[in-house]
Amino acid sequence: MLKVLRKARLKDKEMRVLMLGMDNAGKSTIVQRILNEPIDEISPTLGFSIKTLEHQGNYFEKTDALIWVVDAMDRFRIEICQAELAGLLKEEAKTIEALF
């Protein structure tokens, strides 16, 4: 039975990609472009948004990757953005260390 489950897991190409970044960085625009949705009327996202994307026949459902979106034109907040990402990665490292 375990062998069957392992084979099924290998065929399972689903993953969850978490897209984060500071406000107005372009996260919603990126997702809408991937989904071929219009981007001419994008308003700020309140809270968070969940979208299901299909890529080569597979849905992304498990948290396996992080995409950190940076607005390179916002030079005034680039250091704040860098500090936020560093803090997030430190917290994740602490969580992983606690598991072992």
CA atoms within 13 A on the CB side of 83: 5
pLDDT band at 80 (very low <50, low <70, confident <90, very high): very high
User: Which CATH fold topology does 15-99 show?
Assistant: Rossmann fold (3.40.50)
Question: In the prediction, which pLDDT does 60 show?
Answer: 40
Q: What SS3 class is residue 20?
A: strand
Angle at 62 between CA 65 and CA 10, to 5 degrees: 95
pLDDT in tens, 1-55: 445 545 555 555 566 678 888 888 888 888 888 888 888 887 777 777 777 766 5
- Is pTM beyond 0.75? Reply is no
Choose among 66, 76, 73, 64: nearest CA to 21.
Answer: 66
